[in-house]
Chains A and B, each alone.
Chain A
Amino acid sequence: MNVMGSTNDWSFIIAAYVAGFLFVAGYAAWAFWERRRLQRILIALRGASK
């Protein structure tokens, strides 16, 4: 059963693409930040053990 409506309301389209950008860019930014954080901790641990 397919019940299709139509709309030219761009607010739904903009909401979807903003969400898409935030999902992908947000995850990428978090992944970069997390990588740097772990690298810093590892460097500090190596320095402390010397």
Chain B
Amino acid sequence: MPRNLKLTGIAIWTCLLAVWGAALAVVPPDQNQGEVYRIIYLHVPSAISAFAASLFLALAGGAALWTRNEKFLTWQRALAETGLLMTGLALLTGSIWGKPTWGTWWTWDARLTTTFLLAILLAGYLMLHSALPAGRQRLAVCSGLAIFIFADVPIIYKSVTWWRTLHQPPTIIRSGGSTMAPEMLTVLISGIVAMVLMMFWLAWLRTGSIELNRELESQTGAALT
């Protein structure tokens, strides 16, 4: 494994664990929700990392269609995987938070449903990528789907203002400024930065395997993953 990949990984892991430590032990409890609100320091960064993965997935889709370079398809596959991982984590932590605060693990609320749709779209992308043989058709079809998937992200973001939902409206980016206390906001923003970096690092780690798999595919005629 490249040395810079390892060193970057150690640095990002340290930052992420430090932020989680601050979220669990440093920031004060919330006035309304009590201690359970600490889950948002994991839930919100996971959701924003999923959005970032979807954005860069679409950009890699556009770049692949423009240049026909397989390297962008490798990044698409890696970002679709990490995007699905982050979407799954956002849904799971949201569900764990929802039980004590809303009284239910799950509801077909607009924000939850559109986020669930993102997970299905990303899983669909991965299935399509695995099903198609290497070549121009895979590059074109997967890149088209990669761009299409991003259309769900603004819908997820605006879902809490477009429809009546159980999910609360935006608390960080809103007119009149954030409603969070500065010390809480600092930890939350640090958590978002650390988790987005972690998502990119995981994708970077995966690109090596995806390239190796493509090399094996060209030698043996079949993918091993």
Tell me whether A and B are bound partners.
yes
The residues of A with any CB-CB pair to B shorter than 8 Å are 1-10, 12-13, 15-17, 19-20, 23-24, 27-28, 31-32, 34-35, 38-39, 41-42, 45
Q: Are A35 and B208 in contact (CB under 8 A)?
A: yes
Q: Are A28 and B205 in contact (CB under 8 A)?
A: yes
- Which of B85, B100, B103 is within 8 Å of A12, CB to CB? B100
Alpha-carbon gap, A16 to B101, bound state (A): 14
A6 to chain B, nearest CB (A): 4
Query: Assuming the A-B contacts A4-B101, A45-B219, are A35 and B89 also in contact, with contact meaning beta carbons closer than 8 angstroms in the complex?
Result: no
The answer, yes or no, to whether B77 is at the interface (CB within 8 Å) is no
| B33 and chain A: residue at smallest CB distance | A6
Please give, as numbers and ranges, the residues of chain B lying within 8 Å of A27 by CB-CB distance: 81-82, 85, 202
Q: Are A10 and B166 in contact (CB under 8 A)?
A: no
- Which of B92, B102, B164, B224 is within 8 Å of A5, CB to CB? B102
The answer, yes or no, to whether B72 is at the interface (CB within 8 Å) is no
Q: Are B202 and A31 in contact (CB under 8 A)?
A: yes
Q: Are A39 and B42 in contact (CB under 8 A)?
A: no
Q: Are B97 and A12 in contact (CB under 8 A)?
A: yes
Q: Are A23 and B100 in contact (CB under 8 A)?
A: no
Query: Assuming the A-B contacts A8-B29, A17-B20, A38-B216, are A1 and B166 also in contact, with contact meaning beta carbons closer than 8 angstroms in the complex?
Result: yes
The answer, yes or no, to whether B136 is at the interface (CB within 8 Å) is no
The residues of B with any CB-CB pair to A shorter than 8 Å are 1, 9, 16, 20, 24, 29-30, 32-36, 38-39, 42-43, 46, 81-82, 85, 88-89, 92-93, 96-97, 99-103, 164-166, 168, 198, 202, 205-206, 208-209, 212-213, 215-216, 219-220, 224-225
| A19 and chain B: residue at smallest CB distance | B92
**Most chain B C-beta atoms within 10 Å of own C-beta, residue among A1, A31, A32, A45:** A31
Q: Are A16 and B97 in contact (CB under 8 A)?
A: yes
Please give, as numbers and ranges, the residues of chain B lying within 8 Å of A8 by CB-CB distance: 29, 34-36
In the A-B complex, the 6 residue pairs with the closest CB atoms: A38-B212, A6-B34, A7-B100, A8-B35, A35-B209, A16-B39
A50 to chain B, nearest CB (A): 13
Alpha-carbon gap, A9 to B150, bound state (A): 37
| B89 and chain A: residue at smallest CB distance | A23
- Which of A6, A9, A32, A38 is within 8 Å of B1, CB to CB? A32
A38 to chain B, nearest CB (A): 4
Q: Are B212 and A39 in contact (CB under 8 A)?
A: yes
- Which of B24, B36, B209 is within 8 Å of A6, CB to CB? B36
Q: Are B205 and A35 in contact (CB under 8 A)?
A: yes
Please give, as numbers and ranges, the residues of chain B lying within 8 Å of A3 by CB-CB distance: 102-103, 166
